[in-house]
Amino acid sequence: MPRQVSGVSFGEAKARSTAWAVTFGDMVTLLLTFFILVIVMMNEAEKHIDRIINMLLDETYTELNSALPSAPDRFTHRRFQNCPSAGRS
């Protein structure tokens, strides 16, 4: 016969005292999933912003070179050419 603690079996008392662990585990899993989702979304947004910046730099470069034909190498956007995210897509 299972041991009784104040009218409740030992197994039931132990189950009640550790029931919070299931809720805590669910909450931690959901938080982890949320932050992974946020990181993935920010990574995609960063790629999109890089494409827009590179497009604007290309347009500015061509406009400046056409406006100032005597100094074509004066205005360049080499600042972003060595950046790994500067790949054209």
User: Residue 80 corresponds to which amino acid?
Assistant: F
Number of structural domains (the chain) is 1
**pLDDT reported for residue 89:** 46
Q: How far apart are CA 44 and CA 12, in angstroms?
A: 49
C-alpha angle 34-37-38 in degrees, rounded to nearest 5: 90
Full domain range(s) for residue 12? 4-86
**pLDDT reported for residue 59:** 92
* Tens digit of pLDDT at every position of the chain (89 positions): 556 556 778 888 887 888 889 999 999 999 999 999 999 999 888 999 999 999 999 999 988 888 876 654 555 555 555 555 555 44
**pLDDT reported for residue 25:** 94
Q: Is 68 helix (H, G, I), strand (E, B) or coil?
A: coil
Check if the beta carbon of residue 72 is closer than 8 Å to that of residue 65.
yes
